[in-house]
Amino acid sequence: MYAIFRDGGQGVANTADSGAARSLSVSDRNIRTGDLVIVYESPQAMKAVTITENGRYDNRFGNFAMKDWIGKPYGSKVYGKGGKGWVTLLEPTPELWTLVLRHRTQILYIADISMICFNLELKPGHVVLESGTGSASLTHSLARAVAPGGHVYTYEFHKERADEARKELEAHRLQLVVTVTHRDIMALGFPVLNTASAVKGQPVISAAPPLSSTAMEVLAASAPEVMRLEDEGATVNPCNEVVSEADAAAQLSIYHDGNVDAIFLDLPGPWKVVENAARCLKPNGRFCSFSPCIEQVQRTSEELRRHGFTDMHTVEVLLREYEVSAERLYECSRSTGRDVTVHEPGSLQLRNISNADENTLLLQDEAAPLQERENLKEEQDHAGSYDDAKMTPRIRNHIDSPRGVEVDTASKADSQSHKRRRTEEHGHDDEAASCLEAHGPAHVNLKATRGPKAALEDTKTLSFHTTSVLCRPCVKARGHTGYLIFARKFV
């Protein structure tokens, strides 16, 4: 629900349709005071800010007054004073939030988050338990999946983090969909009333508030088997308080006996919670545990088998990123029967210039504006900047070492011809661009070029190259995040 950070669970949980109506009208796609906005400069530089009347946002591209942003639609480019450039204002989504949030703990990323939401078969109306909350990266995605009508109960054993998560979720207007509780799940398990042989040796609901007699009556009517409390040494504290039905329901709502659709665990010792989890889940309910180490996976699987789970499967998922660029590939010359080598002047050699020495120049070839432009594709979705001091082309996401195009200058003739080409850049751009438009990026773009040296040596030799858009996997990739164990409660 894209309005999750704005109307959030509030509008939608109360009256399902009016919330939807609000979020669908045109004006709601505009920025308002108090909204959370993602300020986008580049894939590596994004920041979440809250709009205030007098707020300012300053970065290297300019000084921005937030009041200029109010009323603009999300997705707008806005320009700062100082005329140096622009930033783009995006509407927050759980995915964007995962990329900009402040890490209090190691977080889950999109590959795992999406697998979890999908494999737990979440949909609006479901109830899901999560432990631990951590930085609430996954929590936002869970909230989106189960709202409206559903609920996320998330537990965090670290008190400050629990408080911070709660505040954050309130700021994102999700407090009706998500309940953050401070509780040590590995020690106590999720709160359940039927504590018969629950987490071994521990009274499960010692931290729970007392149950009113109204609530006890409701329990007796709806779940009589849970009433064998004294026998099992449970420590429910019935008190003789009579409360309203709504309050009784609220008291009982924190207990999860058999009414949970899905459970997610991100704990160091998830096997300790398996039995308790089995108690919370509805039959056919789904379980997921995320563990970085295979030993944890093994122990958890063993426990799952022992406690009535079936359909266990363990997977790892990663999103492998590809980078896209327009590259020039040279062809063999046919006219003279000689191979045209790539070392002739005017050719390009790709090298990592992180240790570039001073003698290598960053040169441009006739079609280089197009080429470089493509290699610097991330530049294009950067904020605009006319700062000449920023010279080194930056590379696609997550790769730190810069890569550039450089040519070993072979002869003086080259540098002169290169200078000539540089001043004619605009013209060449038009040429390159018109080629692009004429043939489209997909098509082979045969463009005869004459390397100057070739021109000197042999006027009959033409070097042909084709410029195509190519993709390849990124060099730097994530190796491992963790194993996801999925299981279903046998029914």
Partner 1 sequence: MDDNCMIREGDSIIFDERGEKMSFMKVKASGKVKVGKLTLSMQPFVGAPFGAMFEVSADGKEFQRLKRPPGEEVTNVLDTERDNSNLLDRNTDNQKLSHDEIEALKQSGKSGSEIIAELCNNSATFESKTEFSQDKYKRKKAKKYMIHVTLRKPTARAICQAYYDKGPQRVFNLRFDSLAAMLSLANIGAGGTALVIDNCMGVVLGAVMERMGGHGIVCNAHVDMAYSCDVIKSMNFTEKERSVLFSSSVGSLKKAFQEQVSKLEAGVTLHSNQCITEEAEPVASCMEDSKLSEPTLATSTSDACDHGRTANGVLPTVPGTVPSVDNNFQAVNTSCTEVALIDAGMASLKTASTSKTHSGSSTGAAAPCLLKLGSAGFSSCILAAPRMNPTSLMSQVLPLLAPSAAFVLYSPWSQPLAECMHQLQTSKSAVLLQLHESWMRPHQVLPMRTHPEMMCSGTGGYILSGIKVCTSDGSTPLTGDSLYSSKPSSIHTLGAGATECAPDCTKNLPGRKRGRKNY
**Integer angstrom CA distances of residue 148 from 293, 362, 470:** 35, 56, 43
Asked if residues 123 and 145 have their Cβ atoms less than 8 Å apart, the reply is: yes
**Between residue 303 and residue 322, which ones bind partner 1 under the rule CB under 8 A?**
305-306, 308-310, 312-322
**Between residue 397 and residue 436, which ones bind partner 1 under the rule CB under 8 A?**
397, 422-423, 425-426, 429-430, 433-434, 436
Nearer to partner 1, 228 or 313 (CB): 313
Least separation in angstroms between residue 413's CB and partner 1 is 16
Least separation in angstroms between residue 233's CB and partner 1 is 28
Q: Among 88, 133, 289, 467, which residue interacts with partner 1 (rule: CB under 8 A)?
A: 88
Q: Among 108, 273, 340, 376, which residue interacts with partner 1 (rule: CB under 8 A)?
A: 376
**Between residue 122 and residue 181, which ones bind partner 1 under the rule CB under 8 A?**
123-126, 141, 144-145, 147-150
For strand 483-489 and strand 281-291, is the pairing parallel, antiparallel, or unpaired?
antiparallel
Work out the end-to-end distance of the chain between its first and last CA atoms, rounded to an integer number of angstroms: 32
What does R_g of the chain's alpha carbons equal in angstroms? 30
Report the C-alpha gap between 215 and 244 in whole angstroms.
Answer: 9
Nearer to partner 1, 44 or 335 (CB): 44
**Applying CB under 8 A, does 471 fall inside the site for partner 1?**
yes
Q: Among 33, 59, 119, 206, which residue interacts with partner 1 (rule: CB under 8 A)?
A: 119
List all residues 6 or more positions away from 475 whose beta carbon is below 8 Å from its beta carbon: 399
Nearer to partner 1, 145 or 186 (CB): 145
Partners of 468 in the β-ladder: 327
Q: Among 106, 237, 352, 380, which residue interacts with partner 1 (rule: CB under 8 A)?
A: 380
Report the C-alpha gap between 158 and 154 in whole angstroms.
Answer: 12
Least separation in angstroms between residue 44's CB and partner 1 is 11
Nearer to partner 1, 170 or 429 (CB): 429
Q: What number of chain residues touch partner 1 (CB under 8 A)?
A: 132
**Applying CB under 8 A, does 220 fall inside the site for partner 1?**
no
Least separation in angstroms between residue 133's CB and partner 1 is 19
Asked if residues 151 and 178 have their Cβ atoms less than 8 Å apart, the reply is: yes
Least separation in angstroms between residue 459's CB and partner 1 is 29
Nearer to partner 1, 227 or 474 (CB): 474
Both tokens of 358, joined, read 């001073």
Q: Among 36, 51, 117, 252, which residue interacts with partner 1 (rule: CB under 8 A)?
A: 117
Both tokens of 9, joined, read 């669970």
3-class DSSP state for residue 24?
A: helix
Judge if the upstream peptide bond of residue 233 is cis by omega within 30 degrees of 0.
no
Q: Among 209, 238, 292, 441, which residue interacts with partner 1 (rule: CB under 8 A)?
A: 441
**Between residue 56 and residue 85, which ones bind partner 1 under the rule CB under 8 A?**
72-79, 83, 85
Nearer to partner 1, 229 or 395 (CB): 395
**Roughly what angle, to the nearest 10 degrees, separates helices 412-423 and 425-439?**
70
Q: Among 70, 196, 218, 469, which residue interacts with partner 1 (rule: CB under 8 A)?
A: 469
At residue 120, φ and ψ (nearest 5 deg) are -80, 0
At residue 13, φ and ψ (nearest 5 deg) are -75, -35
Both tokens of 196, joined, read 């018969």
Least separation in angstroms between residue 199's CB and partner 1 is 22
For residue 361, the 8-state DSSP code is: B
Q: Among 133, 364, 445, 463, which residue interacts with partner 1 (rule: CB under 8 A)?
A: 364
Asked if residues 9 and 15 have their Cβ atoms less than 8 Å apart, the reply is: no
Asked if residues 82 and 56 have their Cβ atoms less than 8 Å apart, the reply is: no
Least separation in angstroms between residue 157's CB and partner 1 is 26
**Between residue 268 and residue 287, which ones bind partner 1 under the rule CB under 8 A?**
282-284
If one counts every other C-beta atom within 10 angstroms of the C-beta of residue 448, the result is 8
**Applying CB under 8 A, does 483 fall inside the site for partner 1?**
yes
Asked if residues 82 and 99 have their Cβ atoms less than 8 Å apart, the reply is: no
3-class DSSP state for residue 108?
A: coil
Least separation in angstroms between residue 423's CB and partner 1 is 7
Least separation in angstroms between residue 212's CB and partner 1 is 25
